[in-house]
């Protein structure tokens, strides 16, 4: 019932995006010493939302990965632990933002029902 409300779908899509980004950060950190490993990231939520058609909008956004870039070390690895820490904090903030939107929408819904 509640998943048909756009605000809940948007919050769910944002939380899924943050989780996928955190997974990429963890994968990058795990491969920080792997020769030739290229750091990856998830496209931004806003970009994925704009690229999605009306039918594909939340909660069915495409979470495609991109090359995160960065300078290459002598062994060909492009993972920067400092950049990964920043990405991890961004993902955490996005996830908290999604939870706050969901929580606020639930409070509005409860208030409108008189509970």
Contact predicate 75/35, CB 8 Å? yes
Q: For residues 41 and 87, is the Cβ–Cβ distance under 8 A?
A: yes
Domain residue limits at 43: 2-113
User: CA torsion angle for 68, 73, 77, 83 (degrees, to 10)?
Assistant: -40
Quick: pLDDT tens for 45-103: 888 888 776 655 555 677 888 998 789 999 999 999 999 999 999 999 999 999 999 99
Identify the band that residue 2 occupies on the pLDDT scale cut at 50, 70 and 90: low
Residue of higher predicted confidence among 107 and 6: 107
pTM equals 0.83
What was the pLDDT predicted at 60?
Answer: 62
Phi, psi of 66 (to 5 degrees): -130, 160
What is the pLDDT at residue 8?
86
pLDDT digit string, tens, across residues 5-55: 788 888 988 999 999 999 999 999 999 999 999 999 999 888 888 877 665
The helix (H) or strand (E) run that includes residue 113 is helix 81-113
pLDDT of residue 25: 96
Q: Which two tokens stand for residue 14?
A: 């944002």
**What is the tally of structural domains in the chain?**
1
């Amino acid at each position: 019932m509640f998943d048909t409300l756009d605000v809940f779908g948007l919050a769910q899509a944002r939380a899924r995006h943050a989780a996928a980004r955190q997974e990429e950060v963890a994968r990058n950190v795990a491969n920080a010493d792997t020769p030739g490993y290229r750091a990856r990231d998830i496209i931004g939520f806003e970009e994925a939302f704009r690229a999605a058609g009306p039918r594909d909008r939340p909660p069915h956004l495409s979470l495609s990965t991109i090359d995160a870039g960065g300078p290459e070390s002598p062994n060909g690895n492009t993972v920067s632990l400092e950049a990964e820490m920043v990405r991890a904090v961004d993902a955490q903030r996005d996830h908290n933002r999604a939870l706050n939107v969901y929580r606020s929408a639930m409070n509005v819904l409860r208030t409108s029902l008189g509970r």
